[in-house]
Chain A
Amino acid sequence: GLSWGTISCKMVVKGKKSDGEPVKAWKSQPCRLYVKGAIMGFKRGLRNQYEKTSLIKIDGLQDKKDVDFYLGKRVVYIYKAVREVKGTKFRTIWGRVTRAHGSNGTVRAQFARNLPAKAMGGRCRVMLYPSRV
């Protein structure tokens, strides 16, 4: 689910408690199906910013020519809130990679609702779908 790149596979016995009862825990396998991205800010000139479009720096992406793989991929910004909504305290804002930004691998993304300012410098996930491979 929303765990950080792992998936719980099965219950395994980790050890024993003092009264002899086995301690069970979920064994997890790494399963990160997204690329980590950093939210750099909004599209802007020096004195004006346009919050409709966010700038994302995708891990490992350093060239404009490699951006083609990520075009159209869905991006999600995940944040926590106190109140539980639909069974979870995690909330999401989904978006998509729209185009390259500059020549060094930065990418523009548009979200369903504009990102909040506190997301700047924060983490987002660039999923591998919709896949064209």
Chain B
Amino acid sequence: EMPATARKTGKRSVSKAKKVVRKVLVRTKIGKKAPHNESATVGRSASYKRSGKWAVKAKNMGKFPVVKAPVKKPEPTPKAPRFYAAEDTPKPFTRRNVAKPAKLRESITPGTVLILLAGRFRGKRVVFLKQTSSGLLVVTGPYKINGVPIRRVNQAFVIATTTKVDIAGVDVAKFDDKYFAKAAVKKTKNADGFFVSEEKKEELSPARKADQKAVDSKVLAAVKKQEFLKPYLNSRFSLTKGQAPHAMAF
């Protein structure tokens, strides 16, 4: 309990800070009122009006709208797994990079004669048809001229020449990566099949042959219009002594 002396002399027991405040108030002649600050907080009713809650209420017929909490579905209790791995298997990192298809070089347009640089048909000159959605190039010999069927080729393994063939009328819409996808080989679950090596020679489907004919007939017609283009496509490209590719115009 406070001593009697302290209670009697109320003003003297005031803290120093309060004394300073009282002095300031007296000096500024406002008295016990706080100095009016425009940007200070307003009264409760004014702040309520300011917040606009009354408008929300008015819109919702006098009450605040109540949003019901979403009903949580009870989670199915997980079954205990039948097998626990003895050691922690490392999780591979999730790959977020998706490689974009290669941009077609400006020198390659439909009908350009390309030189294949690698693969079974290296050195052959072929006609470019279109680029697939994965970035590979669809080319054709034509088959009758140099034995190259309708085939996909990577842009990096190709030199584009300035020779062009007019393939405006050729329908190449059906040639996409799906068309060239290999048929899934069924795995026989035979015990005998394990030891016996099945050597099936893949016969070319008549559909593919028909497609080849359809495209080549039009390409051949365009090739025949240009002088020497047929024997040109028939020949292979080769470097000879004294030739430097960096100095060549293709």
Give the interface of A toward B (CB within 8 A): 5, 7, 29-35, 59-61, 66-70, 127-133
Alpha-carbon distance between A129 and B123 when the two chains are bound, in angstroms: 12
Residues of B close to A132: CB separation below 8 A: 105
Residues of B close to A70: CB separation below 8 A: 246
Size of the B side of the interface (Cβ < 8 Å), in residues, is: 24
Instruction: Across the interface, name the chain A residue whose C-beta is closest to B157.
Output: A129
Task: Determine chain A's interface SS by DSSP, over half rule.
Answer: loop
Q: Are A130 and B239 in contact (CB under 8 A)?
A: no
Instruction: Across the interface, name the chain B residue whose C-beta is closest to A73.
Output: B245
Residues of B close to A129: CB separation below 8 A: 117-118, 156-157
Q: Are A131 and B156 in contact (CB under 8 A)?
A: yes
Q: Are A34 and B246 in contact (CB under 8 A)?
A: no
When each residue 151-164 of chain B gets 1 if its CB lies under 8 Å from chain A and 0 otherwise, what string results?
00001111110000
Q: Are A33 and B238 in contact (CB under 8 A)?
A: yes
Q: Are B238 and A29 in contact (CB under 8 A)?
A: yes
Residues of A close to B158: CB separation below 8 A: 131
Interface CB pairs A-B, < 8 A, 29: A7-B123, A7-B236, A30-B236, A30-B238, A31-B237, A32-B239, A32-B240, A33-B118, A33-B122, A33-B123, A33-B237, A33-B238, A33-B239, A34-B239, A35-B239, A35-B245, A60-B246, A60-B247, A66-B246, A68-B246, A127-B118, A129-B117, A129-B156, A130-B156, A130-B157, A131-B117, A131-B156, A133-B107, A133-B159
